[in-house]
Every structure is written in structure tokens, then in C-alpha cells.
Amino acid sequence: MAKAKSKAAGSANAKPALLSGGNPQIAKGYGDAPVQAYIAAMPGWKSEVGRRLDQIIVQAVPNVQKAVKWNSPFYGMEGEGWFLGIHCFARYIKVAFFRGLSLEPVPPVESRSKDTRYLHIHENDRLDEAQFVSWVKQASQLPGERM
């Protein structure tokens, strides 16, 4: 994974545009800054949940690498690829575990991609943080996706 700096554009006060379904449009970039910009731009309740997901991921995997690609935050391991991605939709946040089929238990939502599994988080859902930490730790130890 490259360690290039974020290609931040525009004024620091400008709010990023929201794409279809309310997903923030954030310039591609590597490191914590573009991920934090994405989280800050998540609409409504999703921003608070995004902050908590990011905190949990960093606590579970202290040496995690971060990037924003295709208007979504990605988390991965240096030299191993990406193990997790986050994306906003109108009614929920989708957490993608790229090798989710290898996790125990397997995350609940199927994907068209054979190995990928999703966790959907809706506004009034209570996140099972212990389960999420377990999935994050397991996923970080598997070969990641090269994107």
C-alpha cells in the first residue's frame, strides 16, 4: 500500500458533496486524514457510528493502514492489502469484510463476491462491539484485497 498523502482539494470549510444514498464524496487519499474527512462528512447519525467503528478498528489493530478509495474508507495491513471497507447508504452503513467467509461466525449479509460478507448497521441498531472486534482482528490476520 502506498503511503502517499491525501489529495485534499478545496477549502477546509467546504462540506463534501453527498453522492447517491448519502455517501460522502471524498478525494482518494492514504492515511488517517482522508478517513477522518469521510467520517466527518457522513450524514446524520452515521458520523457518530463511523467514528466509533474507526476507534474500534484502531484499538483492535493498532498498526492498521487507512485510505479512502472509491469514496469509501478502507482498512488494511501494510503489504497484505485491505481487509475491511465502509460505505454509506440511505438507510444504513455497510461494513464489508473482504474475506468475510473465512470469519467465525460469518458476518450476516451475503455478497455477490464469493468471499466478501457484510454487516449492515441501521440507525437504531445496537452494535455488538465484542463481535465486531473479533471480526476485525480475524480479518486483519487474513490476506487482504489488493485494490
Q: What is the pLDDT at residue 13?
A: 54
- Domains of the chain in start order, with CATH, are 20-140 (3.90.1150.200)
Q: What is the pLDDT at residue 16?
A: 77
Q: What is the pLDDT at residue 33?
A: 97
pLDDT, tens digit, 9 for 90 and up, residues 97-108: 999 999 999 999
Helices (H) and strands (E) in the chain, counts: 3, 7
pLDDT beneath 70, residues of the chain:
1-14
Q: What is the pLDDT at residue 7?
A: 40
Q: Pairing between strand 81-88 and 65-69?
A: unpaired
Q: What is the pTM of this model?
A: 0.87
Q: What is the pLDDT at residue 10?
A: 41
pLDDT, tens digit, 9 for 90 and up, residues 106-130: 999 999 999 999 999 999 999 999 9
